[in-house]
Amino acid sequence: MSHGHGHSSHTQSHAVEIPAPQTKWIWKTFWILTAITAFEFLIAFIKGPLHLPHLLVVTVFITLTLVKAFYIVADFMHLKHESKTLIMSLALPIIFILWLIASQLNEGSYVFDAIHNFHNFLTK
């Protein structure tokens, strides 16, 4: 980048000094995200050999995903520094998604019974 530096200095020579970068918090978040992803990989590889219960594995994966999502939205997208009303107006509509997940996964298993398990479906 050094070839461009002299070029910009003549437009900025009279401007105020550029402050030093403050990037420590960015790299902290980066390491958190990388460590969580690495941990997810570890589980993906050991869950078979160790015969970890499927429900436990899925719960851990989903929890870690939500933790990663929190760090991306709060830190990288700066949402934790926005006004509380803005945070709430973005967070509350997620309720509709939670409802959709609950209803459609439930509905999916009914469709499963209708296709693969018709006798059970009739007696349900």
Chain contacts with another protein (rule: CB under 8 A) = 1, 4-5, 8, 11-12, 15, 18-19, 21-23, 26-27, 29-30, 33-34, 37, 40-41, 44, 57-58, 61-62, 64-65, 68-69, 72-73, 75-78, 82-83, 85-86, 89-90, 93-94, 96-97, 100-101, 104-105, 107-109, 111-112, 115-116
In angstroms, give the least distance from the CB of 122 to another protein.
Answer: 17
**CB nearer another protein, residue 20 or residue 123:** 20
What is the per-residue DSSP string for 11-68? HHTTSPPPPPP--HHHHHHHHHHHHHHHHHHHHHHHTTTTT--HHHHHHHHHHHHHHH
**Is the Cβ–Cβ distance between 113 and 121 less than 8 Å?**
yes
Longest dimension (CA), the chain: 83
